[in-house]
Homo-oligomer: A and B are copies of this chain.
Amino acid sequence: MTKVREFKEKERYTMNLLVKNVTKGVTQKGAPYLNLVLQDNTGTIDGKLWDASEADMAAAKPGHVEKLAFEVLNYNNNLQLRVNRIADLDQDLIDLSEYVMSAPVEIGELKARISGYMDSITDPTLKALVKGMDAFVGKKFYDYPAASSIHHSYLGGLAEHTLGMADLAEAIAGQYPVLNRDLLIAGVLVHDLGKTAELGGLVSNEYTLEGKLIGHISIGHGWLMETARELGLEEKQETLLLRHMILSHHGRMEFGSPVLPAIPEAEVLSFIDNIDAKMNTLKTALSTMKPGQWTQRMFSMDNRQFYKADLD
């Protein structure tokens, strides 16, 4: 079946797509219409359904995979769908992996490599805390994106981001003896686990109420306090240092860290979080551009534009 990434201007298709978002509008002439965001596992595209009937409006359900008939138009140099019909489907028969994007690395491999990092920690307190947190979060660790839209926003994104950081951490810890390798790796493995309560998951792609009122940093820190108490490790220095790493990993108070890094490992953690997120963001932004072009201003890159050079 044709995929979103392969859509061509002026072609017509009838096919299933995930309805990511629906808003209603009314034209200047008073006719109702629907703004749709549609998606499969290769990309996302905007659509309009003009002269929407009551039936259309009832059928268009955010989070559902639905059957649509549409034509592909070019609007300001972007493709857009003009949808003619929409019908809901029996969601139980859907294979969701066709409709949400996945990490480029296979989930099984992500799990194996992250487990390898957990096992490689030799400090018993840190290993127990990391494994306790992993058990607490469970499968969600591999189902979640790392952010709702900015970077690694796909199935397995949180795990892929964690693994990318662990690889960076291993290389940097090997280069600077002032760093305790076990503490840095443990910090990487737990720093973002609170995101599994902050975000609603891939399909809804929204912040939860807990996410907006509390935030993943404080959620994850609270879980680590609970985990440590259950394991009888709440008085250990390693526990205090690992809690500090979760709290300080955004590196600046205005980015939501209530304390700033005060140990070398926390300082490095905030750097590698930043590097891995930005490399993923730039990869995504530049991958669909031609050499010699500039990106739009990118909010998550301090509102800068980036240039795609013409090197081999």
- Residues on A lying within 8 angstroms of B by beta carbon are 23-30, 32-33, 48, 50, 71, 73-77, 80, 82, 123, 164, 167-168, 171-172, 175-180, 182-183, 209-210, 212-215, 217-218, 221-223, 225-226, 229, 237-238, 240-241, 243-244, 247, 253-264, 267-268, 271, 274-275, 278-279, 282-283, 286, 294, 301-302, 304-307, 309-311
State whether A263 touches B306 (Cβ < 8 A): yes
Q: A218-B218, A286-B264 known; A178 and B279 CB under 8 Å?
A: yes
Identical chains in the assembly = 6
Q: Shortest CB–CB separation between residue A45 and chain B, in angstroms?
A: 14
Complex-state Cα separation, A29 to B51, whole angstroms: 11
Contact of A241 among B172, B244, B309 (CB under 8 A): B309
The one of B26, B71, B253 in contact with A76, judged by C-beta atoms closer than 8 angstroms, is B26
**B209 near A240: Cβ-Cβ < 8 Å:** yes
Q: Residue of B at shortest CB range from A221?
A: B218
* Complex A-B: 19 CB contacts under 8 Å: A23-B76, A25-B75, A30-B71, A168-B171, A168-B175, A171-B172, A171-B175, A172-B275, A175-B279, A180-B309, A183-B309, A213-B262, A214-B247, A218-B218, A218-B247, A223-B225, A258-B258, A264-B306, A271-B275
